Every structure is written in structure tokens, then in C-alpha cells.
Amino acid sequence: MTLLVTIRVALKALGRNKLRTALTMLGMIIGVAAVITMVALGRGAQQEIETQIQSAGTNLIRVRAGNFRRGGVSMGVGGAPTLTVEDVEAIRREVPGARYLAAGVSTRDQVIAANRNWNTQIEGTDVELPLIRIWDVETGVFFNPSHVRSAAKVAVLGSVVRDNLFGEGADPVGERIRIRNQSFQVLGVMAPKGTGGFGQDQDDTIFVPYTTVQKKLRGRDGTNISGITISADSPDNVNPVADEITAVLRAQHGIPPGEPDDFMVRTQTDITTMRSQMTQTMTGLLAGIAGVSLIVGGIGIMNIMLVSVTERTREIGLRMALGAKGRHVLWQFLVEAIVLSLVGGVVGIGLGFGVSESLTRVLLWPTAFPADAVALAVGFAAAVGIFFGFYPARQAARLDPIDSLRFE
């Protein structure tokens, strides 16, 4: 009996009970579709991160005060007041590869405009920030060095803040907002930037001179800052510049060799890698959960095949009486199981593709069709068919012809 004939016999047997065949396949279809969708979503997220990094500027270096890797007391990033404006000046002086620098002090507060208010991130920064983040002002202007020197009460709004305080698309330049009972003048609005490297909304923020945060909002006159944002002069130079910055800051802070840093230097690449790893773990987890449904689908196939073998005992007995050998019967049932799982797998791929497409179209979630996951799903489906089909098929092949013929 050739394989072709075996496949035809299997297809005919499956065709005799279409509803059952369809329901058995459904388990496989859902399993494969779930895996494909999850992986497609994960890959889409991955690709989006890569795009975001390009938009954030690949030359970005961030320095944060404090270092959570320091032994003993847990400081938390930004928890220790170890960075000062002098550090910024030292880097500017001694690291020529650091093209743009901006000191940063952030806080969160309620912002009030006329009759509306909004709780948002207040980012104290310096004039070079738009150059570092490659981020344009849409209307109005960014603050200038004299604003920074005088700790002027001026603010540049992120587009989300503008939308919530003044209404969507409004032009608030020249208007006044209140933060901690102090009146600030709106200088401009940033162009919308979208979601940032860690999923935060970058447009939900207000930029003010860092000196203003230090002197007017924190209520304590100090030179401490919580971070420095730096742009290296070329992508290739990011790591050397980061190293030089580390050396300069250690010298500034008088840290003896062997002692840990009291600050953290992170490049955009570090952040990207971390974020990518997070997404990968997430994708793996989701695909794993989806994979469980594949196994459940396989058990469904085994269940139906066992029922089928019992139901068709007489048929098996007859085929054996007419000359079918154990392996003929084994193959007949195995091929049935494989057809169930493979056809289920292929339909599942179609469904998974459809679902990811709709997620992209309707919910605007980014997805990327994972060709390797498709190959994997097909292979896995076939493996499930063989694995879960083998036991019932072997049961069938071991039957005795006369006993099976008499079976009721």
C-alpha cells in the first residue's frame, strides 16, 4: 500500500465525520493561531523599539545620580545627591566628544491653567535638550541660557499637557500656568514624539530650566541635579565618551580606584538591550502559554483517535482479515492524526496571520509576521500529530482480526 493510498484512505475516513474532524482540528487551529499571534506581537514590539531608538538618537548617554548596584544601603537611581552642576561643567570641559549636555532635575506636580489642571512630569533641563533628543519645538520657542541663569519661571509644554490644559491644538504661547502656586509663562509647545523607550508617553511632560526646579520648585537652593543627558558627537563614539565621562566623574567625586561609582552611566544601547530583553522574555512567556494550548489540541487529537479506533474496531478487523498488516493499520491511523494536526496547523497559521493583521489595523498594535515561527508551528503541529497519534494507531495495529470482527 503506497503512502498516497494511505493518505487517501485517511482523508476519506476523516471526511466521513466532518463535524468531528473540524472540532478536533479546532484545538490545533487555536493553538497554532495563538502562538503565531503572540510571536507576531512580540516581533512587532521589537521592531518598534528599534524604530524608537533611531528616533531618540543613537548617540544618547544618560548619567544618573546614585547607583543601585552599590553594596549595603540601597540608594535607588537618583536617590543620592551626588551629581552637581560642576560635574556638568567638568564633562563639558574635559570630554570633547560630549557634544551637547543638559543637566536634569525632575519632579512631578499638579499644573493648573485657568480652570483646568493636570498632573504631569516637570522636567528641569537645559537649553541643549532639543538637540540631544532630536526634538523640535512646534510652536513658540524653547527657553534660552538667560532663562536658565536667572531661574526664570518659563515652561515649554509637551503636546499632551497642552491638549489637557488648553484643549487640543490650542496655541498657549504667552499664556500662564501655575505650578506650586507660582505663575509660569508658556514659551512654546514641543512637537508630538509618542511613546518612549520604556512605554512612557514622552509628550506628557513640561520642560522648565533646571535652575528653576532647583530654586523655585524644590524650595531648596542647591546645585544638586538628578541626571545629565549627553549626546556624543558620533554613534561610534558613544562608548568611548561614556567611559571618559565615567573617568571624569570619578575624579570629580574623588572616588578611589576599586570603589564603586556613585552614579550610573547608561548609553542608549544599554537601554535598548534591556528593553529588548524584556520584550523577548514577554514574547517567550506569551508564546509558551499559547504553546500549552497546542498541547491541549494534541491531547484532543489523541482522544478522538482513541475513540475512532474503538469505533472502527470492526473495520480494522475486516481490513486485517483481507490482508492488511499491522503497519498498514498503524500508518492509516497515524496519517489520520497527522492530517488532522497539519491541516489544523495550516489553518491556524492563516487564522494567526488574520488576527495579527486585524490587531494592527484595528488596534494599531504593531505586529511582524514571524516566518520562522510559522515553520516552527508547522513542524510542531506535525510532531504533535505523530506523538499523540502514535499510541492510538499502535493500539489499532495490535488488534486481533477475528476478535475485532466480532467486536460490538
Partner 1 sequence: MPVIAVRDLAKTYSTGAVEVRAVRGVNLDIEAGEFVAVVGPSGSGKSTFMHILGCLDRPTRGSYELEGRDVSRLTRDQLADIRNTKIGFVFQGFNLLARTSALENVELPLLYRGPSVRGAERRRRALAMLDAVGLADRVDHMPNQLSGGQQQRVAIARALVNDPAILLADEPTGNLDSTTSREVLDLFRQLNA
Question: Residue from 70, 180, 250, 328 that binds partner 1 (CB under 8 A)?
Answer: 328
Residue 314: CB minimum distance to partner 1, A: 8
Length of the chain: 408
User: How near is the Cβ of 401 to partner 1 at its closest, in Å?
Assistant: 5
Distance CA 97, CA 133 (A): 17
Kind of pairing between the strands at 83-84 and 98-113: unpaired
Nearest to 263 by CA among 224, 233, 213: 224
Q: Which of 81, 140, 284, 326 binds partner 1 (CB under 8 A)?
A: 326
Of 101 and 330, which has the nearer Cβ to partner 1?
330
Instruction: For residue 202, count other CB atoms closer than 10 A to its CB.
Output: 22
Largest CA distance in the chain: 102
Work out which of 150, 314, 358, 361 binds partner 1, going by CB under 8 A: 314
Which residue, 87 or 315, is less far from partner 1 as judged by CB?
Answer: 315
The three cell numbers of residue 298 are 494534541
Q: Which of 19, 322, 363, 364 binds partner 1 (CB under 8 A)?
A: 322
- Own/partner long-range contacts of 315-318 (Cβ < 8 Å, ≥24 apart): 316/396, 316/399, 316/404, 317/399, 317/400, 317/401, 317/402, 317/403, 317/404, 317/405, 317/406, 317/407, 318/404, 318/405
How far apart, in whole angstroms, are the C-alpha atoms of residue 286 and residue 153?
48
Q: Which is nearer to partner 1, 221 or 400 (CB)?
A: 400
Residue from 20, 108, 325, 361 touching partner 1 (CB under 8 A): that is 325
What is the nearest approach in angstroms of partner 1 to the Cβ of residue 337? 20
Which residues contact residue 377 at a Cβ distance below 8 angstroms, ignoring those fewer than 6 apart? 32, 35, 36, 345, 348, 349, 352
Residue 161 or 320 having the CB closest to partner 1: 320
What does the buried/exposed string (b/e) look like for 295-318 if buried means 16 or more CB atoms within 10 Å of the residue's CB? eebbebbbebbbebbeebbebbbe
- Name the residue with cell 531661574: 151
Can residue 1 be called a binding residue for partner 1 (CB under 8 A)?
A: yes
C-beta closer to partner 1: residue 16 or 149: 16
Side-chain half-sphere of 121: how many Cα atoms within 13 Å? 16
Tell me: does residue 149 bind partner 1 (CB under 8 A).
no
Asked whether the beta carbons of 84 and 93 are under 8 A apart, the reply is no
Residue 354 CB, shortest distance to partner 1, in Å, is 35
For position 402 contacting partner 1 by CB under 8 A, the verdict is yes
3 vs 364, beta carbon nearer partner 1: 3
User: If binding is defined by CB under 8 A, does position 336 make contact with partner 1?
Assistant: no
2 binds partner 1 (CB under 8 A): yes
Of 1-9, 20-28, 55-63, 340-348: span binding partner 1 (CB under 8 A):
1-9
Pick the piece of the chain touching partner 1 (CB under 8 A) from 284-292, 324-332, 348-356, 364-372: 324-332
Figure out which of the listed residues 46, 293, 405, 407 binds partner 1, where binding follows CB under 8 A. 405
Binding of residue 307 to partner 1 (CB under 8 A): no
Which CB, 381 or 397, lies closer to partner 1?
397
Judged by beta carbon, residue 10 or residue 30, the one nearer partner 1 is 10
- Counting contacts by CB under 8 A, is residue 320 touching partner 1? yes
Interaction residues for partner 1, span 359-398 (CB under 8 A): none
For the segment 6-45, give every residue that binds partner 1 (CB under 8 A).
9, 16
- Selection from 241, 288, 297 nearest residue 94 by Cα: 241
Rounded Cα distance between 144 and 154, Å, is 10
Pair 252, 90: CB distance under 8 Å: yes
Task: By CB under 8 A, name the one of 141, 289, 307, 321 that touches partner 1.
Answer: 321
Task: State the Cα–Cα distance between residues 345 and 26, nearest whole angstrom.
Answer: 9
Nearer to partner 1, 9 or 131 (CB): 9
Q: If DSSP codes are grouped into helix, strand and coil, which group holds residue 119?
A: strand
> Which listed range, 225-233, 252-260, 298-306, 315-323, lies at the site for partner 1 (CB under 8 A)?
315-323
- Residue 94 CA, distance from chain mean position: 37
Cα–Cα distance between 304 and 392 in angstroms, integer? 9
Is 285 among the residues that bind partner 1 (CB under 8 A)?
Answer: no
Binders of partner 1: how many residues, by CB under 8 A?
20
Q: Rule CB under 8 A: which residues touch partner 1?
A: 1-2, 5, 9, 16, 314-315, 318-326, 328, 401-402, 405
